[in-house]
Amino acid sequence: MTSPARPDLDQLLAAWAEARRLPDADAERIRQAIVPADPTLSATWWSDFNARISATIARATTVPAPALAALP
C-alpha cells in the first residue's frame, strides 16, 4: 500500500535505475568485452550436447559390477 506522500517501491527503484543507467556506448563496450563477436554454434552442437548428457545419465544410473555380484 502506498500513500500520496510516500512513493511505492517500483517508483523508487525506477528513479534509482534511471539515475545510475550506463550510457549506451559504455554498455555496448562492456557487452562486447563479454559476448564474443561471432557467437555461432556448430551444426552438431545439439547432438554433441545431448550425447554428453546421455552418457552422464547412463554413468550415474549404472549399478557397479560389485553391487550386482552382491545381489542374491
Predicted confidence (pLDDT) per residue in 36-71, tens digit: 887 788 899 999 999 999 999 998 888 888 888 888
Side-chain-facing half-sphere of 69: CA atoms under 13 Å: 3
pTM: 0.39
Domain boundaries in the chain?
A: 43-72
* pLDDT recorded at residue 7: 79
d(CA 2, CA 57): 51
Q: At 30, is the pLDDT very low, low, confident or very high (cuts 50, 70, 90)?
A: very high
From residue 3, alpha-carbon distances to 7, 13, 15, 16, 42 in Å are 7, 17, 18, 20, 56
pLDDT in tens, 6-16: 779 999 999 99
Q: Which residues pair with 6 in a beta bridge?
A: 3
Residue 2 above 60 pLDDT? no
